[in-house]
Amino acid sequence: MSQPQHDVSLASVYQARRRIAGQAVRTPLVRSHALSERFDAEILLKLETQQPTGAFKLRGAANMIAALIERHGRDALEAGVVTASTGNHGRAVAFAASRLGIAATICLSRLVPANKVAAIEALGAEVRRVGESQDEAFGEVERLVSERGMTLIPPFDDPLIAAGQGTIGLELMEDAPDLDRVIVGLSGGGLLGGIGAAVKAIRPETRITGVSLTHGAAMWESLQAERPVAVEEVASLADSLGGGIGLDNRCTLSLVREVMDDHYQVSEVAIAHAMVDILEHEKLLVEGAAAVGLAALAEHGIQVRGQRVALILSGNGVALETLDRARAMCRR
């Protein structure tokens, strides 16, 4: 059998868990009484909102930085690390780098909300606002890598990043080994791909369901085209799901193709209702990308009756004005 192009294995996920201990935390998997009653199923919420940076991204960033130090020594990162981000990955890189005394530069498009920018700056990282899309921000990253010798910590398209996110899958299988379905937001594919790689290796019959935006779903469009494609990035309540997958994608496209069983696209109205529902019934403040699993259940009527289903609440980086906009959409 040929080696998978993505090179993400269960062994690499276990290695990631060892590396990130002490930076990322093991997050709770809790039963939602309200959602379980509503969908006549056991709905479990994976609270990545409880990570020190408020989102799952810390797992991948911490794993990659630690792995690079293991392989090449600390001096290899002397010029600092750099990335482009829609917010959460930048905060994760800034946090992991600061804990190790490594300089970090985070390049962000002007679509990234101000609250996420402030959170990154508070960790001591240099922030550069460049362009109107994540792809444009990556142009600045490439310049800094070329001219200053900085080390790129990509937001998703690397086996080390995906393996770090895959540690969520290990925790799911340990806490709920008979899961029928995991519903995950899909953007660059590191989160879904990593979780799927771990879960499928342990329990192949568990379904991995991806959820994308209705507009600007780069990974889904690329899967349909069977090659990476560029899409127009649009503003969304689920801003963390924006951005392309890279026209030279070398890891996550093949990984997602391998592990994802089905896929749904959700509207802004559905995301708004899901954000508000989670706040009102679970008393959890989540960003739009964290609410898309519930949005898909509600908007598409996914049949989960009698099943055990995990929703990945991926992050809590939501600005109050965004929450106000979601509430206003629910009142229309």
Which residues belong to the active site? 57, 314
Task: Judge contact between 293 and 163, C-beta under 8 A.
Answer: no
Between β-strands 181-185 and 151-152, what pairing exists: parallel, antiparallel or unpaired? unpaired
Task: Judge contact between 245 and 220, C-beta under 8 A.
Answer: no
Q: How far apart are CA 174 and CA 159, in angstroms?
A: 22
Residue 74 CB neighbour total at 10 angstroms: 11
Beta-strand runs (E) in the chain: 29-31, 42-47, 81-85, 104-108, 126-129, 151-152, 181-185, 207-213, 262-266, 308-313
Task: Judge contact between 268 and 237, C-beta under 8 A.
Answer: yes
Q: How far apart are CA 276 and CA 260, in angstroms?
A: 27
Bridge partners (DSSP) listed for residue 29: 46
Q: How far apart are CA 141 and CA 128, in angstroms?
A: 10
